[in-house]
Structure 1
Amino acid sequence: MLTIEIVSDVVCPWCFIGLRRIDAAIALVRRDIPDFHCTKRWLPFFLNPDTPPEGEPYLPFLVAKFGGVEQVEALFERVRDAGRPYGLTYAFEKIALRANTLRAHRLIHWAQQRGDAEQLVERLFAAQFQRGEHVGDIGLLAAIAGECGYPADEVAAYLASDQDAELVRAMEAEIRAVGIRQVPTFIVDRRRVVVGAEDPAVLAEAIRETLARP
């Protein structure tokens, strides 16, 4: 069984699309290899590492970064167009705050110690891009964890502490140290790397190539 590690950040709109594209790629591989199975693991990346813990206004940051409202709207439209074939809708207008994602990454790490975190990751992306929720807020993250079947009170206590904060920061630093600068990045069985939310056919070929190697 292959392990596909997905380097991503929950405030990256292309990472949401990347999640859909890797699923489509896996479906393509299964057309030829019906019994193909893989495990997904998420690795942390801080798209905006300087974000204050409480977050900061979303649209003003983007306007300053990309040079104007028109440029930001064009970026939003490109993302919407890319997401539409995969059934994704984006509600950028609902997002008030640019979140610091350390707590979200800690929650994903915590969940992965207990099994598959895919449902949780999916819900975090929906919170950010479809509901406009503040994914840096402990109460919200605990509630999302509860929706996904985890003990919300335990999650809230965990996130209120500093447990695993340095570990997650170290994991992210290690990812940058090997040269990863763009998300999503897909690492297939630690043998093949695909950078960006590539077309499912490209991702599927990376999986097939890895399977073909002894």
Structure 2
Amino acid sequence: MTKATIEIDIYSDPICPWCYIGLKRFRKAQTMRPDFEVKTRWLTFQLNPDMPLEGMERQSYLDNKFGGRDNATQFYDQIAATGYEEGIDFKFDLIKKTPNTVDAHRLSIFARSQNRQDALMERLFEYYFLEGQNIGDRNVLLEIAKASGLTDAEKYLDSDQGHEEVLFTDQNARSLGLNGVPCFIVNRQHILPGAQNADTLAQMLDIGYQQQLEQS
């Protein structure tokens, strides 16, 4: 089979557990279509665009968002069970602060320029959901950048680069009608919202492949 390069844009936020689940399912879909060349581009969507720069103490965030611990526990227990099926051992109890993710998204843009965006996004998910680390903290982000193979990340984070792109991309997502993530866009045309199962995501790749054949 002739290989085709399929472009997949993924709107995501690294503090979204369904985005982590979506990533695992997407990776599985890719193994189901080994003859396809897939190029991913991670795009900004902020679950909490009004989050203070310093973030928010986790329990206060859950109280505000879910109306109390019991509702939050029920919600996250369901996610944990789904994550377990995908090989993710969510450690929600380790998370002490819900961060502002602007700098994490800025770092993602920077990682794209070094072809390390996939590696960075995966580590952002791991540090937050498996270790409970504050990915809004500059030192944590620098550690993640190093682990992802990025160079000159400290200089970048000390600047204001990427800030306007983060805000613009987030607003653009909302103008497209997105109100949640993950959201996959195939060849910048076909939209597939949600953390779909691997079979559905593989079918998405089929659509992208067929489109590339028709254009070649």
Q: What TM-score bracket applies, with the shorter chain setting the length?
A: over 0.9
For 1:26, the aligned partner's letter is Q
The answer to whether the 8 A contact 2:97-2:134 is kept is yes
Count of residues in Structure 1 that have an aligned counterpart in Structure 2: 208
Distance 1:195 1:75 in 2: 20
The answer to whether the 8 A contact 1:187-1:193 is kept is yes
**Cross-structure match for 1:144:** 144
Higher mean C-alpha displacement, 114-123 vs 97-106: 114-123
The answer to whether the 8 A contact 2:95-2:129 is kept is yes
The answer to whether the 8 A contact 1:139-1:156 is kept is no
**Cross-structure match for 1:162:** 160
The answer to whether the 8 A contact 1:138-1:160 is kept is no
Distance 2:10 2:55 in 1: 24
Deviations 1:75-131 (A, max 9, x none): 111111111122101111111111000000000000101113111111100111111
> What secondary structure is seen at the aligned counterpart in 2 of 1:194?
strand
Q: 1:169-184 to 2 correspondence within 5 Å?
A: 169-184=167-182
The answer to whether the 8 A contact 2:116-2:149 is kept is no
1:110 aligned onto 2:110: yes
Unpaired runs of at least 5, structure 2:
none
Relative to structure 1, the CA distance from residue 92 to residue 135 in structure 2 (aligned partners, 3 Å threshold; closer, same or farther) is same
> What secondary structure is seen at the aligned counterpart in 1 of 2:49?
coil
The answer to whether the 8 A contact 1:191-1:210 is kept is no
For 2:70, the aligned partner's letter is E
1:29 aligned onto 2:33: yes
1:65 aligned onto 2:69: no
> What secondary structure is seen at the aligned counterpart in 2 of 1:175?
helix
What's the TM-score, normalizing by structure 2?
0.92
The answer to whether the 8 A contact 1:51-1:99 is kept is yes
The answer to whether the 8 A contact 1:120-1:145 is kept is yes
**Cross-structure match for 1:4:** 8
**Cross-structure match for 1:130:** 130
The answer to whether the 8 A contact 2:114-2:150 is kept is no
**Structure 1 residue 150 displacement after superposition:** 1.8
**Cross-structure match for 1:17:** 21
Distance 1:200 1:96 in 2: 32
For 1:4, the aligned partner's letter is I
1:99 aligned onto 2:103: no
Distance 2:145 2:65 in 1: 32
The answer to whether the 8 A contact 2:116-2:150 is kept is no
Unpaired runs of at least 5, structure 1:
none
Q: 1:32-51 to 2 correspondence within 5 Å?
A: 35-51=35-51
Deviations 1:21-45 (A, max 9, x none): 1111122223xxxx21101110000
The answer to whether the 8 A contact 2:104-2:136 is kept is yes
Give the % identical residues: 36
For 1:92, the aligned partner's letter is F
> What secondary structure is seen at the aligned counterpart in 2 of 1:2?
strand
Higher mean C-alpha displacement, 161-170 vs 122-131: 161-170
Distance 1:76 1:112 in 2: 31
What's the TM-score, normalizing by structure 1?
0.93
Alpha-carbon RMSD across the aligned residues, in angstroms, is 1.2
